[in-house]
Amino acid sequence: MLTALAYSADSGFYGGYYGGMGFGWFDPTYILVIIGLVITMLASANVKGTFNKYDKVRSRRGITGAEVARKILDANGLYNIRVERVSGSLTDHFSPKENVIRLSDSTFNSASIAALGVAAHECGHAVQHQVGYVPIRLRNGMVPIVNICNTLSLPIIIIGIILGATNLAMAGVILFCAVFAFQLVTLPTETNASSRALATLRDMAILDEEELKGTRKVLSAAAMTYFASAASTLLQVIRLLLIVQNSNSRRRD
């Protein structure tokens, strides 16, 4: 669920690499990197804190995350998808290529309302694939392109600035925008998976209305990590634009 923060790390790398470039020893745009870092750290702390709070609330039915995942998958005819355990906390994910939902140590054998929400969320992704949900198909198709753009953007921007080739540097920034586009597509994918999870937990009578309130808070906190990641990347795009623009202005002077 927390994969949203993966690309934020790349943004931090860009921030560190560009420290001082185009602005001498003092780079006022670095404040954008700091703001982005604070946003993602707060979102990460919030989801962990919210999960830990409701991980202490045991569901009345007492079934585990793994059992709930199996029930939801079978109810949707997804008998071919396995449910496996993976080490770590909040490392839960669905792998469509392997047809497997991997639930973390904090989810697999836990009967808490937080764990059941996480398990149902991952099942939501499996159902999205089954019904051909457009955003998740688009996101999966973008992955190889985004990886290439993310790898090439930094060298292109640097070379463009060194050579004074503004158009080349701007091309690098545009390539980096692919990361932001990927995160925008991810937002409806994740929020829809959570909506499906909550509806399924209610319709299958796995959680009652009171329990769903806590589960909804957990999934909402998780969704905020994706919004935080997108905001952080947008700030980085703005920073790169300012750096390229400033470099071009200095050369003209």
Low-confidence ranges of the chain (pLDDT < 70): 1-26, 252-253
Catalytic residue among 67, 84, 98, 122: 122
Q: Determine the angle formed by the axes of helices 6-17 and 30-54, rounding to 10 degrees.
A: 150
Say if residues 35 and 86 touch (Cβ distance below 8 Å): no
Say if residues 85 and 108 touch (Cβ distance below 8 Å): yes
Alpha-carbon distance of 198 to 188, in angstroms, equals: 15
pTM: 0.84
Tokens of 155: 């060298």
pLDDT of residue 27: 76
> Helix, strand or coil for residue 112?
strand
H helices of 134-165, in order, are: 134-163
Alpha-carbon distance of 102 to 121, in angstroms, equals: 12
Dihedral sign computed on CA atoms, order 243, 244, 246, 250: positive
Report CA-CA distances (Å) from 181 to 79, 103, 138, 234. Answer: 33, 28, 11, 10
pLDDT of residue 65: 97
Q: Is 211 known to be catalytic?
A: no
